[in-house]
Structure 1
């Protein structure tokens, strides 16, 4: 049985690649030998896979399944899950209820794959009473979801995995006395630890969603997180109107009027992703929100 990841030598760095969380995941490693690179990519894959198995809403044997089938009973959470729920709660507060981990049930109606007609108002109205994080009882480490409510950590899971993998790589490299630069990229959610050995920053391309495959903005990333959120890949056209996959949990319908894509730079990937997603949820007020956060961003 072969390895779950590939490792190849590029011009002047090692590239590890694997598929996790329905994304192409990459680890770029500067200035080290093949054995060191292979060992670090194996660690990165194992950690990303662990997080996927623990928090995927498509499994029936993890903590998310236990919560979603608890039928109103309190579930005690481990320390790692407590941190993630606290983060989700913070996103809910910062976004005035627009970033809501209980809104995943809308995916039953909006699946954005060859969808040719809109869900009915009646179907949406039936789901709305089961959405609203404010209805959950969160008294860490105990979480009680009302019967019928389900949560989905997909909105923060990939960014969290990027930061956890980066932390693991940094700790391992420190123990092995490897002082090298790396970049972790999980489907466009990115973290870099430092400039490369020649003092150069990593060059990250941001695609223009209106001209995919053509114009790209190049961003120099020496250290920190970069995350993009947008509807360039997931949307539907119905009767000549485009509907984004970014859904408003209060109405059950896609957010309208915002930019097609937001990219944010922050200290870590979780912070960047949180700001990018909350900005998109503001619709036409996306840039106003980002200006208020005093962060670097690209629309």
Structure 2
């Protein structure tokens, strides 16, 4: 699940709800090379783009290029903008296949692959789900079984028909929708990093509201340090990750949940049952791709600790940190 992150500058740290980036003092005061950071709203969320570049003019130009790349992706996959290819797919659900470009087709194909690998715990068709759960503190009783069943009537990745020969996407049922709120920002972070590496930028961070892609090092040669918040001890960290060419994503329930009869229900919904995920408070995954980190973290939140660990251990390039609803840490 992609998360809306708030930033606070404190003692040379950028503090996030789930993660924070820790910079050494030499990072802040270094004159050469220049380190430039810019915060901007893209894809409906806060992005922080940090580049290590030869001078401020070049850094600003390259940040502009990164923003253009992320905006390009948004204009392809946003389900909120009616002119995008994904919106056209949704508008023609149950009617006809829609031709999309190779990039959109391949992203959708990977998303359905994530659904298969997680046995449906991950599903981009959840955007068609009826919103019967409220996570603003106002919910005091469970929805009816009937309303829960109805809420997922149009959710099933197996009804996303992909034709690789014609590069088309067809949603079998009217009322179906697909969306990339789960992996779209991670994909954008990966593509921003890829673009900057092709431009010869040796180091930086694209932080897409907690879906983070890093490369290179700080100017002092140290890796980027990313702290993972402990939701039960807000002033402490569960772990600090030191990354050079890696990505990280966190899915969690402790900022947005419903508590009913003493049980905490996550805002992350199980696509197969219509019930919120329980058992895990947060899941952090780090490895090569921000997109895949988020696919794994979302899947594990739904699968729970036992099945989630079985899944992530199939991918040795990816590491995990799970925090259970009881505050236990698995890593």
| Shorter-chain TM-score range | 0.7 to 0.9
Structure 2 equivalent of residue 248 of structure 1: 270
Correspondence 1:133 to 2:157? yes
- For the structure 1 residues 226 and 37, does the alpha-carbon distance in structure 2 shift closer, same or farther, using more than 3 Å as the test? same
Distance in 1 (CA, whole Å) between partners of 2:136 and 2:29 is: 38
Matched, 1:185 2:207: yes
Q: Is the 8 A contact 2:227 2:237 kept in 1?
A: no
Distance in 2 (CA, whole Å) between partners of 1:65 and 1:166 is: 26
Q: Counterpart in 2 of 1:121?
A: 145
Corresponding residue number in structure 2 for 1:100: 123
SS where residue 153 of structure 2 aligns?
helix
In 1, are the aligned partners of 2:137 and 2:259 still within 8 Å (CA)? no
CA RMSD of aligned residues (A): 2.0
1:198 CA displacement: 2.9
SS of the residue 1:96 aligns to: coil
Tell me the residue number matched to 1:61: 83
Q: Which residue of 2 aligns with 1:227?
A: 249
Structure 1 residues 284 and 224: alpha-carbon distance in aligned structure 2, compared to 1, 3 A threshold: closer
In structure 1, list runs of 5 or more residues that go unmatched.
1-8
Is the Cα–Cα contact under 8 Å of residues 256 and 284 in structure 1 kept in the other structure?
Answer: no
TM-score by structure 1 length?
0.88
Cα distance change, pair 224–24 in 1 and its aligned pair in 2 (3 A): same
SS in 1 for 2:182: helix
Higher helix share: 1
Matches within 5 A, 1:205-216: 205-215=227-237
Please give the alpha-carbon distance, in whole angstroms, between the structure 2 residues aligned to 1:148 and 1:115. 28
CA offsets 1:157-178 (integer angstroms, 9 cap, x no match): 0100001111111122x3xxx5
Q: Which moved more, 1:232-241 or 1:134-143?
A: 232-241
Cα deviation for residue 31 of structure 1 reads: 4.5
Q: Find the aligned partners of 1:75 and 1:213 in 2 and give their Cα distance.
A: 49
State how far apart, in whole Å, the 1-side matches of 2:79 and 2:232 are: 31
Distance in 2, Cα, partners of 1:10 & 1:18: 20
Tell me how far 1:10 sits from its aligned partner: 3.9
For residue 13 of structure 2, what is the aligned residue in structure 1? Answer: none
With structure 2 as the length reference, what TM-score do the two structures score? 0.80
Please state if 1:262 is matched with 2:280.
no
CA distance in 2 between counterparts of 1:34 and 1:90 reads 41
* Aligned position for 1:4: none
Corresponding position of 2:311? 289
Which residue in the other structure is 2:189 paired with? Answer: 162
**Does 1:196 pair with 2:222?**
no
Matched, 1:90 2:113: yes
Measure, in 1, the Cα distance between the counterparts of 2:236 and 2:84. Answer: 41
Q: Which residue of 1 aligns with 2:9?
A: none
1:277/1:58 CA distance change after superposition, 3 Å: same
Query: Given that residues 252 and 301 in structure 2 are in contact (C-alpha distance below 8 angstroms), is that contact kept between their aligned partners in structure 1?
Result: yes
Partners of 2:235 and 2:51 lie apart in 1 by: 25
1:22 & 1:235 partners in 2: Cα distance? 21
Q: Give the 3-state SS of the residue equivalent to 1:233 in structure 2.
A: coil
**Structure 2 Cα separation of the partners of residues 14 and 100 of structure 1:** 37
